[in-house]
Amino acid sequence: MIIRNVLLPASLGLAISLLTACGGSGGGKSANSSMAPSSSSPPPASSSAAASSLPASSVSSATNSSIAAFTGLLIQAEDYVRYYDTTAGNTTGEYRTDGVDIEKSTDTGGGFNIAYIDPGDWLEFSVNVSAAGEFAIESRVATAQAGGLFSYEIDGKTASGEISVAPTGGWQTWASLSHPIGRLEAGNYALCVQMKSGPFNLNWMKITSTNGGAMSLSQTPKGDASSCIHPVEPPKVTVPERIKLNQVGFTPNAEKLAVVPAVEATSFTVLKAGTTEEVMSGTLSAAAVWQPSFESVKLADFSSLTAPGSYELKVAGVTQTAPFTVSADAYKAVNAAALKSFYFNRASTALLETHAGIYQRAAGHADTNVFIHASAADVKRPEGTVVSAPKGWYDAGDYNKYIVNSGITTYTLLAAFKRFPAYFTAQSLNIPESGDAVPDILNEVMWNLEWMLAMQDPDDGGVYHKLTSKGFSGFVMPDADTSERYMVQKSTAATLDFAAVMAAASRVYADYESQYPGLSAKMLAAAKSAWAWAKANPAVYYAQPADIQTGGYGDNNVSDEFFWAAAELYIVTKDDNYYSVMNAAETSADVPGWGGVKSLGWMSLAQHLDSLTAAADKTLIKDRLTQLAAGISTKKSQSAYGVSMETEDFFWGSNSGALNQAMMALEAYQLDTSKTAYRQAAQALFDYVMGRNATDYSFVTGFGNKSPMNIHHRPSGADGIAAPIPGFIAGGPHPDHYSDCGSYPSPLPAKSFVDLECSYSTNEIAINWNAPLVYVSAALQVLNP
């Protein structure tokens, strides 16, 4: 990729002012923007940036009159003179039309900020030092997640060292970081901001001096070529050593693909395992390069093999054969383990040997004495009020509980049951409730629903964002973490997620009225109360308090949560007013995630097509899912790996992204089962997480020939047992590592994974990542026997 030109229209001025007259620019990322990935490598050393000619009137100098007048120089981050951005286009479309992502701010003074920062991005500014001195720079940053890292350079030489950006509490919650940049003599300099890793937003920089130094901003870039550019060797195409396929096997009628190294061979054979008996042969596809891993590969299609048994795939020129099985029950075990992982993440209870085996543990986090945090206090529940909210699932590798992430998780499990009730009703997980008159999946979901209900303020219907300790615990067992626990701030996002889940749950549990008397009505009432609070408080965004350091799950765009909650309430109440406020015709469908949940509404509408009122546009509902699935299927058909995963899909939790793609493709397939390409696209994504990937891992613990042994999960890390709890899916590869674990085996998006406990960026587990694994493995077992 070349450096993109920076050509400003005459009407675009630099917003530069003295420190004493600063207003500030800001920004706000959407909930999913932290997952925006790099799409290419930085440019080679020979690339250059085009200089821009900026109007002189747009520059305010702090030093033209006298040195004494200099009190500081404010530089708005969006007013660079050169740049490099790893992804094309201005995602938000604000302020400028080049390749840098700029968005509006809610920081003091309004304005704009740089967002969607990726490793390798840089911004260049031209400054003039009129009086030598020692200078320091203050950076205005915001982020909802850990991992941001950047540095300053002066004329291509490091001036600040690496600057780490700790979570500030949200994409619009701003903080200032100050660092010396050293002594500068009089002259012109290129100031460069080098982005080492995301996610964070950058608003402005303030440069000051305490010993007489003075500086102004120049409208002209220094030199013909940018000093920000550093030589970067482009990735080289390689040929992998191994055949890659689904390591747990295939159901008889599944599409069966394997990724084969691009050796000279043009054919493959399938042998009975452990013998030389050939059962089939086939032609390999032409060699092609998969961009996320820069591997040259071929595809072997052995879908015609339907007889159950154990086999080996063999290709001349590849040292090792690849074992696989074909079985009518191929995915039942991984599905049961994925679902039972939620039991292993239960809070407020002991796990007995009867149900947990060697993973038995003492109870931790009773959560019956939880304090109302100052951020959540009101007249009826002042700070320090003790409340009770036991049960629920630990969110991920930590011991905290978050409504936003519980929302999509709980819904996905309920949606799986809605689609495949017979399958789940017949399943027994050996959990304490097994054997009662309720399917185990609903017993498990109930453990979390009861906690969620306790997170609603009974006085006004608002829902607290999270129940948490003030900081993350060490790697100890749950009973050893005795830190105080807090209910933290109500938020619109949490309240709407709660409303949607409770409305959906009220439908499902209405069929179990004798087991849960009055519960369905209670959940629907809770959903309506939450909806009313959200309508009255439509923009209460979560802002991380200064004394809380646990996960933020901040989300400053809740239009998708309003759509989802309205859809669920419409389906259960049949009140057309809810459908009207959805504005369905103006709402698209995409791959869901915790911060983007509108497609969960489309899923529910599709699942209840036959019972919707006349107000619903059923054709539109089908079209939304069909268009999404068609796009996923097309990407799969064009991929060297035979999978829809592309470079931009390798964000934090990339495996959940793959599974959520699969889930949406399967939803569309169930609307029209003649579209077998949708089911095959889902199969390919499931195959990907189970071993057909560039790391050679089956990402689900305990399944496959090679699976993670050192997941970032406190119970698995502290229990003294070598093997982790089975059934958890690791987050998966992506290139932004947030300095969590030192070096990684490769910077390439699809290969950037390490099986180490310290790798919370690639090897952590999370409930919202496991939920689509449950849905997809059950769907492929039922729909593709």
Which residues have a catalytic role annotated?
755, 764
* Three-state secondary structure of 688-728: HHCCCCCCCCCCECCCCCCCCCCCECHHHHHCCCCCCCCCC
Pairwise CA distance, residues 475 & 688, whole Å: 30
Residue pair 310/271 in contact (Cβ under 8 Å)? The answer is no
Distances (CA, A) of 391 to 361, 368, 451, 453: 15, 9, 5, 11
User: Which long-range contacts (C-beta less than 8 Å, at least 24 apart) are formed by 668-671?
Assistant: 668/625, 668/626, 668/628, 668/629, 668/630, 669/629, 669/783, 670/419, 670/606, 670/783, 671/606, 671/609, 671/622, 671/625, 671/626
Q: Is 490 in a helix, a strand, or coil? A: strand
From CA 240, how far away is CA 315, in angstroms rounded?
13
Q: 110 with 94: CB under 8 angstroms?
A: no
Rounded Cα gap, residues 103 and 108, in angstroms: 15
Contact partners, residue 120, CB within 8 Å, separation at least 6: 38, 41, 42, 84, 86, 195, 232
C-alpha 524, offset from chain centre: 29
Q: For the purposes of burial, counting CB atoms within 10 Å of the CB of 474, is it exposed (0-12), middle (13-18) or buried (19 or more)?
A: exposed
How far CA 599 is from CA of 410, 657, 778, in Å, comes to 15, 13, 20
Query: What is the identity of the amino acid at 336?
Result: A
- Dihedral in degrees, nearest 10, Cα atoms 695, 697, 699, 701: -150
Please state, as a whole number, how many other Cβ atoms lie within 10 Å of the Cβ of residue 174. 23
Three-class DSSP labels, 744-785: CCCCCCCCCCCCCCCCCCCCECEHHHHHHHHHHHHHHHHHCC
Q: 233 Cβ partners below 8 Å, 6+ apart? A: none
The C-alpha atoms of residue 751 and residue 753 are separated, in whole angstroms, by 6
**Which of 521, 516, 367 is closest to 436 using CA atoms?**
516
How far, in Å, CA of 309 to CA of 328, rounded?
10
CB atoms within 10 A of CB 517: 10
**What is the C-alpha to C-alpha distance for residues 465 and 389, in angstroms, rounded to an integer?**
13
Pick from 342, 313, 310: which is nearest to 327 by CA?
A: 310
